[in-house]
């Protein structure tokens, strides 16, 4: 009885492992099989290995000759003594909007320097990003008039009104 059982189990396992005989995929004629052909199972593709790399400042390679300075130092000399009588205040902006009529509106969050003028004159030392092309300088007087405005090119570190 054990041999019958073992033989039956082996036969069932062989039929199952080989696909149960017959071949055809969808052909109901039952013919076309030329023998016991087994198709090789495709090789499993291994999952890509993800390696986490932890980097530190020591991994950076920076040449000793690198001289990167994204900030420029400027000195602005204001002499508006011919235009300003009395108390006045100067502000320097890096961003402004031009409405096309010659009136410039500063972006107030971009103010980088300000000072009061003494007899219409002042010197302001400040730093700004190297990408700034021009500064808007405004001189406010306390007489209620709109401010005097001037665009000053950032092509030099020594600027003048």
- Kindly state the tokens that stand for 87: 């108390």
As averages over each run of 10 residues, the pLDDT of the chain (161 residues) reads 71 66 54 62 80 80 81 92 87 92 91 92 92 93 88 88 86
What pLDDT is attached to residue 82? 87
- In this predicted structure, what is the pLDDT of residue 33? 54
Cβ-contact 157, 74 below 8 angstroms: yes
Whole-model pTM?
Answer: 0.57
> What was the pLDDT predicted at 156?
85
pLDDT at 30: 53
Helix (H), strand (E) counts: the chain: 1, 9
Give the start-to-end residue ranges of the domains of the chain: 71-160
pLDDT at residue 140, as a whole number: 92
* Domain 71-160 listed as CATH 3.40.50: no
- Which residues have CB under 8 Å from 154's CB, separation 6+? 72, 74, 128, 132, 133, 134, 135
**What pLDDT, on a 0 to 100 scale, did the predictor assign at position 14?**
74
**pLDDT the model gives residue 76:** 93
Task: Give the per-residue pLDDT at 37.
Answer: 64
pLDDT of residue 125: 95
| pLDDT at residue number 100 | 84
């Amino acid at each position: 009885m054990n041999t019958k059982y073992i033989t039956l189990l082996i036969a069932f396992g062989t039929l199952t492992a080989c696909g149960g005989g017959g071949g055809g995929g969808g052909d109901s004629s039952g013919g076309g099989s030329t023998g016991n052909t087994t198709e090789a199972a495709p090789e499993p593709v291994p999952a890509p290995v993800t390696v986490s790399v932890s980097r530190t400042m020591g991994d950076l390679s920076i040449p000793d000759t690198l001289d990167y300075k994204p900030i420029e130092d400027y000195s602005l000399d204001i002499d508006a003594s011919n235009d300003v009588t009395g108390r006045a205040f100067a502000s320097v902006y890096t961003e402004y909007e031009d409405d096309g009529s010659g009136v410039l509106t500063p972006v107030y969050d971009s103010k980088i320097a300000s000072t009061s003028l003494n007899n219409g004159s002042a010197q302001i030392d400040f730093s700004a990003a190297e990408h700034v092309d021009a500064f808007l300088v405004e001189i406010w007087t306390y007489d209620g008039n709109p401010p005097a405005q001037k665009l000053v090119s950032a092509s030099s570190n020594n600027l003048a009104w």
